[in-house]
Amino acid sequence: MNILCIGDVVGENAVSYLQKKLWGFRKLKAVDFCVVNGENAAVVGIEPNQAESLFAAGADVITLGNHAFQKKNILRYLDDRRNILRPANLSPLSPGMGWGEFDTPFGKVAVINLIGRCGMDFGPDNPFYEAERILAKLTAKIVLVDFHAEATSEKAALAWHLDGRITALWGTHTHVQTSDGRILPKGTGFITDLGMTGPEQSILGVKPEQSVSRFLGSPIRTPYFQAEGPCKIEGALFDIDPLTGSCLSVESVRICE
């Protein structure tokens, strides 16, 4: 079974690029299930129409992160659409779900969305304990985790903690693809960060001059704007044994013009 995971989608141009490229890539690689992190589809947050565009483009499940609730019109959508997930370790009063089990020809696939605590601006529940609580409820043999976190050590630590009990864990949030895709000793696939789907000539998808001005100390704060120009798609392809739920291989993915 081939499972494709796509890194943080940044901006409307990236959504359009996925619409052009994703189904073709799915066919080329015989992808059976696709998870897309869409929390930056509106640069900061995601709109319901953008989520629908990502589903139409080929996403089976959309995961989110620290900007999950940035757009107010997404709140009811999260309750209505069961295959868009916000981090499970946020307040239980939050709209939407943090995990789900989804039917496929290979049986149920569970997807869990978690958010890290290191270097974040708020205090979610401990993702390690939340993962344990969710795993106790699952019936699916194939279990996937999108860990939206800043610290590479936190991402690796959770992967090692869950090694052998989940199928794959990947990191999102930093928008920089890492080169460490591998199988952990007990059969869990892991990559520290999938990377970003968005403008190639940018700083994490944003106009470079905006980020540069902030680092130069500009007191003026303006909303982030998506950079212009050609886009890229980054992610990872996990080859899964559906009988055991173990990961057989991890392949980094980069698609660009």
Domain holding 108: CATH number?
3.60.21.10
- pLDDT (tens, 9 = 90+) of the chain, 257 residues, equals 999 999 999 999 999 999 999 999 999 999 999 999 999 999 999 999 999 999 999 999 999 999 999 999 999 999 999 999 999 999 989 999 999 999 999 999 999 999 999 987 767 899 999 999 999 999 999 999 999 999 999 999 999 999 999 999 999 999 999 999 999 999 999 999 999 999 999 999 999 998 899 899 988 778 888 899 999 999 999 999 999 999 999 999 999 97
Report, as residue numbers or ranges, the catalytic residues.
67
User: CA 169, CA 173: separation in Å to the nearest integer?
Assistant: 14
Q: 163 forms bridges with which residues in the sheet? A: 166
User: CA 165, CA 148: separation in Å to the nearest integer?
Assistant: 19
Query: What is the pTM (predicted TM-score) of this model?
Result: 0.96
CB 79 within 8 A of CB 96: yes
Per the structure, the complete domain to which residue 109 belongs is given by 2-256
What is the reported pLDDT for 218? 85
> Could you tell me which residues come within 8 angstroms of residue 112 by beta carbon, excluding any fewer than 6 positions away?
85, 88, 98, 99, 131, 134, 143, 144, 145, 146, 166
What is the reported pLDDT for 94? 94
What is the reported pLDDT for 246? 97
What is the reported pLDDT for 224? 86
CA-wise closest residue to 54 among 30, 88, 77: 77
| DSSP H helices in 168-247 | 208-215
Q: Which amino acid, residue 239?
A: D
Which string of DSSP letters, residue by residue, matches 83-120?
A: TEE--TTS-TTSSSBSEEEEEETTEEEEEEEEE--TT-
What is the reported pLDDT for 221? 79
Domain total of the chain: 1
| DSSP H helices in 103-207 | 127-135, 152-162
